[in-house]
Structure 1
Amino acid sequence: MPRNPWFETVAEARRRAKRKLPGSVYGALVAGSERGRTIDDNTAAFAELGFAPRVVGHHAQRDLSTTVLGVPTALPVVISPTGVQAVDPDGEVAVARAAASRGVVMGLSSFASRPVEEVAEAQPDLFFQLYWSGTREAMVQRMDRARAAGAKALIVTLDWSFSHGRDWGSPAIPEKLDLRTMLRFAPDVLPRPGWLWRYARSGRLPDLTVPNLRAPGGEAPTFFGAYGEWMQTPPPTWDDVKWLREEWGGPFLLKGVTRVDDARRAVDAGVSALSVSNHGGNNLDTTPATIRLLPSVAEAVGDQIEVLLDGGVRRGGDVAKALALGARAVLIGRAYLWGLAANGQTGVENVLDILRGGLDSAVLGLGHSSVHELTPEDLVIPPGFPLTLGGGDVPGARPAPVA
């Protein structure tokens, strides 16, 4: 009897993705940098928080909608930009269609495998993500192209360093797919015939180029070509962030903040929003979980700009906890990629439905009629749970211990 394509949890989506994907592809989706302490803490920290439910006075109808950077969304969940979504032949376009069908905003990586114009056609509520990479002229060209395609906000990602070593080994990513490369990867790919069959039906091979970094009149660079450009670009200053914000001229989200002092500098630079993020555990390992750092950042700047959270969200209850601690919305990455690998567009829709159901249950059980009513009083917060990096005088938070 065929397996039910629908799954009930993100954990099941992950299990199915592992069964379907070649080992190297799956490894790229799950591994964090170095020992993986941060990626583990991102998820474990949510489990340390408890709920304080009410027994009477529940609301028959709950409003889960909000806005992010002025864009209405049916759910306080944003598709986080992730690069080269080779887990499925339709990649970012399948994700865009799923996001549109569920009424949520999508972030598109500048390292994506599908062009921004094609993705924006599938989901007009699109935020374009940019790295500080290449010349200023090249970055302006990329922003102009995204704006022309209809992108409604810019996400600037600064929470990715050069820390890439993994204790269990980094997945092998080829420069390009030629005959020699396919023969080399055959032992990894052939045991997953279903993955191969999906690509065979699509009539295309996994695309390892990044079309959104193509210069006018030129060819799209490979992933490693784009990565090399980023590594060779001198890191940005706060003046550079301000310049990017002015050049974009619209809603602007800075991704990668963990410290209170950085959050305040971001406000001074004129950003519209920030995401408390450690790049899903792929930046500096042993950085604390973002949910531990969210309260101090939200307390410091949440009355001036929108604060989002990125990292470790696997359940609708996790979304509720983040909102209760001051987040406007959360960004998800691995969760929807596992859904994409498990069942394409339908799998991403499945993941979004799981998060919606869990969030709705939390809002119901806590006695609220809207996600905007969630507060810290809805949670059981262990002593010492909130951490403050980079100063601040947030009540209940403590400085992070020195390692």
Structure 2
Amino acid sequence: MFENPWFETIAEAQRRARKRLPSTVYGALVAGSERGRTIDANTDAFAQLGFVPRLVGHHAQRDLSTTVLGVPTSMPVLVSPTGVQAVHPEGEVAVARAAASRGVVMGLSSFASRSVEDVAAAGPDLFFQMYWSGSREAMTQRMDRARAAGAKALVVTLDWSFSHGRDWGSPSIPEKLDLRTALRFAPDVLPRPGWLWKYARSGRLPDLTTPNMLDAGGRALTFFGAYGEWMQTPPPTWSDIAWLRAEWGGPFLLKGVARVDDARRAVDAGVTALSVSNHGGNNLDTTPAAVRILPAIAAAVGDQVEVLMDGGVRRGGDVAKALALGARAVMIGRAYLWGLAANGQTGVENVLDILRGGLDSAVLGLGHGSVHDLSPADLVVPADFPLALGVTAEETVLRP
């Protein structure tokens, strides 16, 4: 039976991704730490928020555009950096083309399967993401390379503890692909001939190296080699973050903030922006939903730095809710990866169009002409919904 390549919801993109990908590859997309409570909390939290629509006085035209770290974007949605996009042969290059075609910013992971040069050539509005990994010299070289390729901002991710505990079993990811590995994974891959055929036509195997992470000899590390380097690097101090900020010298986004006191320390370290995040449920399980801890952080530092949020965004209405609670923009991860798996570049464009349509509908229904007009007054917020983590006993919890 013919299946329309266009899908109407991100849930349908996920269904198609599950249908088309080998189970181990799909499992890597949906896995979270331990029992996955935080993954569910991220999405469930948006459903707890209600809209307060207006009946008359709607705007015939709505402006969804904004800027993030000085870069214009057609809507307040950024493609979040995610590592090793083996769900499609073109990987990050296809995503960059999709982001460019829809006028949004793409974040490229340092653990990506395609080089920063190739991805920057496919999409000019690029933010490069780094972990605190390796020596200062190695990190400086990565920043210099990203800058030379045209990256417009640096994203430093700290909310990743890489928990080993996954109650339903962590998907097996090979160190490298060779004949022995191919035979071992054949029972999982052969039932998905469409995915295998895409790679066969491309003339390349799923790439598990990280060309933006090089060893001392200039060779690309494997994913686990890059992970091992990160594991062996002593965790950074706030002084280290200030050093990284100075070395980059341009717009700088710190990703992973969940506490008000950390947000204030980030401001002191000189960041341009921060993202309220729990790494999509891949950090410490049972961390509260990002959108619940967004309002207090936005109230505390939103007049000093740009505040973004990521985690659980599946609809354009979710974007509107995050903006109403103080976010300048949101970052998406799993949603666009499902689109990439479902239909390559076109699938990512499909996901971005779904989010844009839902956001536009929300702005229209709430009686606004711009995303910048969204406010807590547009929402029904349960009394116990906002959480302020990392505040003193004397501080008042600010609620929308």
Common fold by TM > 0.5:
yes
Listed as ranges, the matches of 1:4-403 within 5 Å are 4-215=4-215, 217-391=217-391, 393-397=395-399
Given that residues 257 and 263 in structure 1 are in contact (C-alpha distance below 8 angstroms), is that contact kept between their aligned partners in structure 2? yes
Give the Cα separation in 1 of the matches to 2:397 and 2:66: 27
**Letter aligned with residue 34 of structure 1:** E
1:401 corresponds in structure 2 to none
Give the Cα separation in 2 of the matches to 1:133 and 1:396: 36
Give the Cα separation in 2 of the matches to 1:170 and 1:216: 31
**Letter aligned with residue 188 of structure 2:** D
Q: Pairwise CA RMSD of aligned residues?
A: 1.0
- 1:328-369 Cα shifts (integer Å, max 9, x gaps): 000000000000000000000000000000000000000000
Give the Cα separation in 2 of the matches to 1:178 and 1:309: 39
Moved over 3 A (4+): 392-398
**Letter aligned with residue 97 of structure 2:** R
- Unaligned stretches of 5+ residues in structure 2: none
Give the Cα separation in 2 of the matches to 1:230 and 1:320: 35
- 1:40-64 Cα shifts (integer Å, max 9, x gaps): 0000000000000000000000000
**Aligned with 1:388: secondary structure?**
coil
Give the Cα separation in 2 of the matches to 1:239 and 1:137: 16
**Aligned with 2:209: secondary structure?**
coil
Give the Cα separation in 2 of the matches to 1:228 and 1:87: 23
- Unaligned stretches of 5+ residues in structure 1: 399-403
**Aligned with 1:221: secondary structure?**
strand
- 1:37-88 Cα shifts (integer Å, max 9, x gaps): 1000000000000000000000000000000000000010000000000000
**Aligned with 1:119: secondary structure?**
helix
Given that residues 295 and 398 in structure 2 are in contact (C-alpha distance below 8 angstroms), is that contact kept between their aligned partners in structure 1? no
Given that residues 299 and 394 in structure 1 are in contact (C-alpha distance below 8 angstroms), is that contact kept between their aligned partners in structure 2? no
How far did 1:164 drift? 2.9
**Aligned with 1:96: secondary structure?**
helix
- 1:121-144 Cα shifts (integer Å, max 9, x gaps): 011100000000000000000000
Q: Under a length normalisation based on structure 1, what TM-score does the superposition of the two structures give? A: 0.98
**Letter aligned with residue 94 of structure 1:** A
Give the Cα separation in 1 of the matches to 2:399 and 2:57: 32
**Letter aligned with residue 199 of structure 2:** Y
How far did 1:218 drift? 2.1
Given that residues 81 and 333 in structure 1 are in contact (C-alpha distance below 8 angstroms), is that contact kept between their aligned partners in structure 2? yes
Given that residues 107 and 126 in structure 1 are in contact (C-alpha distance below 8 angstroms), is that contact kept between their aligned partners in structure 2? yes
- 1:135-194 Cα shifts (integer Å, max 9, x gaps): 000000000000000000000000001423110000100000000000000001000000
**Aligned with 1:387: secondary structure?**
coil
Given that residues 65 and 371 in structure 1 are in contact (C-alpha distance below 8 angstroms), is that contact kept between their aligned partners in structure 2? yes
